Structure formats: structure tokens, C-alpha cells
Amino acid sequence: MTTQFKHDACVCHNHKEFSQKNATSSCSIESTLGESQRTLPYNQDKDFAQQQILNTDSFQEECAVVGVFNCDEAPLISYYALFAMQHRGQEASGISACYNNRITTIKAQGLVTKVFTQTNLRKLQGTNAIGHNRYGTAGADSSEDSQPIFACYDLGEIALAHNGNLTNASKIRESLIREGAIFQSKLDTEVIIHLIARSKKELLTPRIMEVMREVEGAFCLVVLSRSKMFVMRDRFGFRPLSLGEITNKDGSIGYIVASETCAFDLVGARYIRDIEAGELLIFEQNNTREAKLISIKIFEDRHKPCVFEYIYFARPDSVVFNKSVYNVRKNLGKQLAKEHLLDADIVIPVPDSGLAAAIGYSQQSKIPFELGLIRNHYVGRTFIEPTQELRELKVRLKLNPIREVIANKRIIVIDDSLVRGTTSKAIVQLLRNAGAKEILLLISAPPTISPCFYGVDTPSKKELICANKSIKEVCQFIQADYLGFLSFEGLKTAVDKESYDYCQACFDGQYLHDIDK
């Protein structure tokens, strides 16, 4: 059997006519624009070029996912949830909704507010929906990489959205190609759909359970069928995924799952719990508007979530892995002060991710906190060839010092991470030019020495400055007067010393899987 997926750059898919023509044992994705498909009223390529993030010297979270079930205006709820999680992905956004047993998808390149309008959101109806925000490497083809992915196969229609990275994806892909599968992208998500479509199990639930056991790595998946929604998290629980509930106008209860709880706050949902590592949730609906929730534990508890979610990725107003991100970051700063108690006039953060840690450092050290750097939040994500000179220009576009705060001061600067070192060097130069007398840079995490293969876009090891230079050499490179990092023991103390059990492969190089490199 040859299985082929056809990706497209279309914005809106109404899959009814296509599904009737393709309801066979093979599986495909619609590739041509139909009458119901419309083009967004903006130049997507130009818009994307103007929206590439300036964080070329930071780790970048890959994606956000949301699933809404048995809720009034599920597509609109998904839209607002994706808006709340825009920080987890700015390259592309998409929503799939089920109405009258048809799955309709709108997806395109760009931010949530650019992809969706009042006009095209009306094309999405129903009480069940899933959504996705994507962060990808610069220059990625959004026509191939945007999600959710829609598929028509022998059991009907499904749409799927995925956050994470499968460490054995290459191996599975090669095996599927030998069996006749045809791939149209490099997405792990496409591998998953091929596995679902080619499974010999008669029902969708056992097919999904089979896939969960076959794939390795980090994944949070939301799958929408004509009558159900499936939500699953990998056996280690690398990426966050939470469950909430929403009360409908008629008093019935609906459910929402999202990568971060800040999405719940925006849509008025009540947080219930985190989806457990290795758990499969099945949402079903009956004719009385009651939703049924079934939990199946595919793997025993082996929680090993990503500690970098606390340090950088997650929004500070989210609860991640059952802890307040803001409180953890403040604790990181307090612990940093215990390990590096320096003599200085003020403490300033590198906004925005260094803010909470800087507050914690100031509270612990009693050194006054000031805002010495102001971030321009309206600078887009312009992709420029990453030369040294241009990186420094991009930092100047994004951050501007307040000279009246900086001049003639000994300054402690708090940042969350130091990756290539080029951004830190540019920030040090900015502060020097603003008249800083002394610049003491502290990082609220251990040195980053290894790339991540669990759903985060990171530089290669040869680009990670701390993997190739001593701390003294790094300090000389960035031209700071002092450079200090949080210790491993300090990280454990700040997060949870009694029950610390997190993936920290970016800091120690200890991966939990064999990696397809």
C-alpha cells in the first residue's frame, strides 16, 4: 500500500468533498485550493520576513498546542488560547474544527492575529477543535510545516497537532518509505499520521496507543476525529500539557488542554491538572451534550520534564509541571545571589525573561533593582544572515539602555541563558556605551553545553560557546568584568531540592534516548 500526504499552503480547508472522494485505505492530505479555500489578505512571505524573532542567541521553543472539546464556540476559544501562547511559536498558526462530521482547517504563516480574522474564523464552527502555534528554524517552508495536519484515511478524517520532537523519527521514516510511504515534509507529525493510517488495528484508539508505544522522544499530541478528541503526552513528560474545564452557557462542562495554563486564564477555564507523562486522554461526546473523559496510562510514571521551561520558555504567569514559573524564576535569582554575592550599585534584568530572576537576586542581596534596559516589543522577527555585526545591530534594535540609570554605576546584569555569547557581548557593549562603570553578568542557569533534541530549536554543539571555552574565556569574549552561572546544586535547590527529577541534557549532555542525528 502506498501512502501519500500532500501538504499545501492553503489557508482554509473544507474537507467534505475531498473526504468523499478519498475515503479509502490510503491516506492523503488535500493539496489543491477548492472553492471554500480563501487566501488571507496579506503577503505571507513578506509578513514572515518581518516577524522573525531577534533571539538568534537563545533557545527557541518549537510549538504550542491546544484542544477544545464540547465547548460553545470551540474555534474561538482555540484562537484566544493560541494568542496567549504566541511566545511558544511565531512562524505559523492553525486551527482545525469539526462540525456536522466534517473537519475544517485554517492555517497559514504568521502570528495568530495575522492568520485569523473575523471573516475566516466564521468558517470554523463546532464544539470541538484543536490548534497549533509553530516555531521553526528561519526560512522554513510554512506550506509544509504549518499545523494541524489534516488526513483522510480508511477510518475517516483526522487532524493532528504536535509539540515536541521524535528522536527516532528518521528511522521510522526510512522504514515507512521502504514500505511505499510518500512524505511531503520533514515534520515528525507526518510520521505519526502515517503510522496511524497504516496500522492494522480496526479502531482509532488502539491505533493511537500503538503509535505511542512506537515513537520515542518528546511529544504532546492533540488529535481530532469526527466524534472524539485524543490527547497524549510522552512517557517522560518533557513538554508541559495541562487539562482545564469550561462551563458552557447551558451549564454543561467542556474541556480544554493547552501547553500552558496562561491560555486557561484568558478563556476563563479552570485548571484541573497536568496531563501525566505517558497518559492518553480520550474525549467522547453523547447526544445529551455531556462529555466523557477516559484516561489510559500507556506508560508507568517516568516524569523527566524539561527544566528549561522554568528558566526561559514558559510565560511567567503559567503553572508548569505543577509549579508557578514566576516563583521558580525568583528562586533562581535568590539562589544566584547566595552563590555570587557581588558588590554593585544596582541589579538590572535582560528583559523579559531575566526579570523575575533579577527581582529574586535583588530581594536576596538587598541591592536595588532597576530597569536599565528597555525592550522594544514592536520589533518583528526579521531574519538576517547571522554575522557578528548584524547580531549586534539586532540587539540594538531590540534593547535600549536608560543612560540615567546606567551611567557611572556598577551593574549586576541578570540573564536566563548564554548560548552563542554574541548577544551577551552586544549587551555588554550597549551598557558600556551608556556609561556603566562595571558590568557583572550573572546567568540564572548552569552553562549550556549540549543541544536539545526534545522539541527545542538549538544551535549545534560547536556553536555553544560554553561547550568550547572555559568560563574565563567566555567572560573575555563578551568583555564583561565578571561572569557567573548558577550551579547544578543551586538549580535543584531553586526548583525543588526534595523531588528534583528533570531533564537537563542541555546542561549535562545526558540524553534519555538514542538520538537520530
**Does 253 have pLDDT greater than 90?**
yes
Q: Which residues pair with 323 in a beta bridge?
A: 320
Q: How far apart are CA 332 and CA 326, in angstroms?
A: 10
Q: What sign does the dihedral 312-317-320-322 (CA atoms) show?
A: positive
**Does 37 have pLDDT greater than 80?**
no
Residue 262 marked in a binding site: no
**Does 289 have pLDDT greater than 60?**
yes
Q: Where residue 255 falls among pLDDT bands split at 50, 70, 90?
A: very high
Length of the chain: 517
Q: Where residue 287 falls among pLDDT bands split at 50, 70, 90?
A: confident
Mapped onto helix, strand or coil, the DSSP state of residue 466 is: helix
Q: What's the pLDDT at 53?
A: 33
Q: What sign does the dihedral 39-40-46-49 (CA atoms) show?
A: negative
Residue 352 marked in a binding site: no
Residue 234 marked in a binding site: no
Mapped onto helix, strand or coil, the DSSP state of residue 431 is: helix
Buried b (16+ CB within 10 A) or exposed e, 426-439: bbbbbbeebebebb
Residue 452 marked in a binding site: yes
Q: Where residue 512 falls among pLDDT bands split at 50, 70, 90?
A: confident
The pTM of this model reads: 0.85
Q: How far apart are CA 182 and CA 185, in angstroms?
A: 10
Provide the percentage of residues in the chain whose pLDDT is more than 70: 81
φ/ψ region of 73 (left if φ > 0, alpha if ψ in -120 to 50, else beta) reads: left
The catalytic site residues sit at: 63
Residue 415 marked in a binding site: yes
Provide the percentage of residues in the chain whose pLDDT is more than 90: 65
Q: What's the pLDDT at 509?
A: 83
Q: Which residues pair with 104 in a beta bridge?
A: 14, 97
Q: What's the pLDDT at 28?
A: 47
Greater confidence (516 vs 347) lies with 347
φ/ψ region of 164 (left if φ > 0, alpha if ψ in -120 to 50, else beta) reads: left
Instruction: Kindly state the helix (H) or strand (E) to which residue 63 belongs, with its residue range.
Output: strand 63-69
How many other C-beta atoms are found inside a 10 Å radius of the C-beta of residue 186?
Answer: 15
Residue 152 marked in a binding site: no
Over the stretch 308-366, which tens digit does the pLDDT of each residue have?
Answer: 999 988 999 999 999 999 999 999 999 999 999 999 999 999 999 899 999 999 999 99
Instruction: Find where cell 533593582 sits.
Output: 369
Q: Are 143 and 75 in contact (CB under 8 A)?
A: no
Over the stretch 127-181, which tens digit does the pLDDT of each residue have?
Answer: 999 999 998 644 355 556 799 999 999 999 999 999 988 889 899 999 999 999 9
Q: Are 234 and 164 in contact (CB under 8 A)?
A: yes
**Does 197 have pLDDT greater than 50?**
yes
Q: What's the pLDDT at 41?
A: 33
Q: Where residue 22 falls among pLDDT bands split at 50, 70, 90?
A: very low
Average of per-residue pLDDT across 38-49:
36
Domains detected in the chain: 12-33+60-303 (3.60.20.10), 327-508 (3.40.50.2020)
**Does 419 have pLDDT greater than 90?**
no
Over the stretch 127-140, which tens digit does the pLDDT of each residue have?
Answer: 999 999 998 644 35
Residue 306 marked in a binding site: yes
Q: What's the pLDDT at 38?
A: 31
Q: Are 71 and 255 in contact (CB under 8 A)?
A: yes
Q: Which residues pair with 441 in a beta bridge?
A: 413, 483
Q: How far apart are CA 150 and CA 266, in angstroms?
A: 27
Sheet holding 242-247, edge to edge: 12-14, 102-109, 92-99, 128-134, 63-69, 253-258, 242-247, 270-274
Q: How far apart are CA 450 and CA 459, in angstroms?
A: 9
Over the stretch 52-72, which tens digit does the pLDDT of each residue have?
Answer: 334 445 555 569 999 999 999
Q: Are 29 and 149 in contact (CB under 8 A)?
A: yes
Q: How far apart are CA 445 and CA 494, in angstroms?
A: 10
Average pLDDT, the chain: 85
Q: What's the pLDDT at 430?
A: 95
Over the stretch 294-308, which tens digit does the pLDDT of each residue have?
Answer: 999 998 867 899 999
Radius of gyration of the chain (CA): 23
DSSP for 151-165, written as a single string: EEETTEEEEEEEEEE
Q: How far apart are CA 241 and CA 259, in angstroms?
A: 4
